[in-house]
Structure 1
């Protein structure tokens, strides 16, 4: 492989783990703040609610966890020799697509 996809995937996964740690810390802070407060933020016209903030961070965590699964699957495909092969049609995934999306499972036509 001319491009080091394993290295790029590994770097992205490490950055993603750091982002997940930060998001989980933020979620913990939100939960701790809401536990020690008896404020009725659901009816506060001045901004977002604690429930909204928790939902927002929860969605970001879920998205990051999904991305981690995709990166892990791509690393597994590198190990078994199927990385860069479209899972639908079996043709090679163009190098340009893998440069942009190194965890791509499909070629542009099937994607």
Structure 2
């Protein structure tokens, strides 16, 4: 994969993840705002999940998206350094298909399977 293609791959993944993070942050803020003035006891509501559970779930998804953004920024640095396709463990090549599926990966499939 050439540098331009790698840059585009990482940039596209970053834009999608940033959009997801923004949507999750909005959803979290909506949940917090909706529960701010409520005195209802949602902990014992048999009809669904609690507000606290929903807020925690959205917060966890948001944290995953933020972690992915950090990993994508690191991937962009590896592209610029010319080591995007180099396994951190063995120094061998990372297959293009693996990078397309997981642009943040830092290891080849062989090293990933050794865990």
TM-score tier (shorter): over 0.9
| TM-score normalized by the length of structure 1 | 0.94
Q: Return 5+ residue gaps in structure 2 as ranges.
A: none
Match of 2:43 in 1: 42
Q: Return 5+ residue gaps in structure 1 as ranges.
A: none
Residue 16 (structure 2) pairs with residue 15 (structure 1): yes
1:26 Cα deviation from its structure 2 partner: 0.5
Deviations 1:22-48 (A, max 9, x none): 111110010011111000001111101
Cα distance in 1, alignment partners of residues 80 and 47 from structure 2 = 52
Match of 2:93 in 1: 92
Q: Tell me if the contact between 2:14 and 2:69 (Cα under 8 Å) persists in the aligned partners.
A: yes
Aligned length: 111
Which structure features the higher share of helix residues?
Answer: 2
User: What is the SS of the residue equivalent to 1:7?
Assistant: helix
Match of 2:30 in 1: 29
Higher mean Cα deviation, 20-29 or 1-10? 1-10
| TM-score normalized by the length of structure 2 | 0.91
Cα distance in 2, alignment partners of residues 30 and 95 from structure 1 = 40
Cα distance in 1, alignment partners of residues 53 and 73 from structure 2 = 30
Higher mean Cα deviation, 94-103 or 63-72? 94-103
